[in-house]
Structure 1
Amino acid sequence: MSRIYEDVDPAYAANCSNITLCSNTVGFFKNFSDEIISIAEEDNWLQSFEKVEDVHKVTAVMENKMIMQGLQEVFSRIQPLYRSKDAKISQEKLKEAEAALKQGDLNKSLALASQAVLRSPMTGIDEVADRGVSLALALWLRSEVLLRLNKFQAALEDLKLA
């Protein structure tokens, strides 16, 4: 598990993974995987797929027109889901990132600073929380964390953006 996710309860994460990926109950993922497997079993394609080297498996799937058609049909119905930009939430994440940085938890600080960047509106859009500079502040802090992590090029890129 990545260091960024150290704060996630391992039992909760395992339970979510088991429910999502390994569940035998009827649901989207179970139905979806069953449908793709049934397509792959046609013409004994799945048996030949098992012999394909790992580095070529994605290519093999993409070359199977029936599987790709099934995947594209499902993916075409997916609706985008995203969180809107919010300067106040960005400011909260920035404060949490600063606190983690003061405690010396660089990975947590990096994760929180990145969340602050993601939630920040463009400069000058929302002046309520921080006079419209939430994105610049979040990038500035993230660059500081990146510097402490010896990720100099990434820090420089954030400073340029800030």
Structure 2
Amino acid sequence: MKETISIRVNGRQHNIQVDDAKTPLLYILRNQLALNGPKFGCGQGQCSACLILLDGQPVSSCMIPASTAAGKEIVTIEGLAKDKNLHPVQEAFVEHQAAQCGYCLNGMVIAAVAILSEDPDPGEEVINQGMQRVLCRCGVHNRVKKAIDTAAKSLSR
């Protein structure tokens, strides 16, 4: 028997039908809401390809049951842009070409947004610590750090 779950994603309310309330939120975002920024990576919450902001905190959407997200504010990478303007973190990632294959990009951007919301002027150690949760095998870490620094300066203006 299907269950209806009410979730708020990127500022919009959605009533979602699920067969099982334990269905990972990632599947709802991708399959029912066509939000393909969060990616399926490891399915164990260890790679952060599926990272989202849940009430402002970065979480792996593959590990969150859809029912747990009810009543919380969910932001995906698609929800960061405002009025067709990229978020400063997204702009900085473009400027510094801080993506290669793009698979981890969602997690990198969401983690960077979370870092800057907690510390608007993070040092290298804070950035390294905040980004260590995102698995990237392409080696763009130095460009990512530069992008986060650029975004921090942009946000402080």
TM-score over 0.5 for the alignment? no
More strand, by proportion: 2
Q: Work out which of the two has the higher radius of gyration on C-alpha atoms and give 1 or 2.
A: 1
User: Greater helix share, 1 or 2?
Assistant: 1
TM-score (norm 1): 0.23
TM-score (norm 2): 0.23
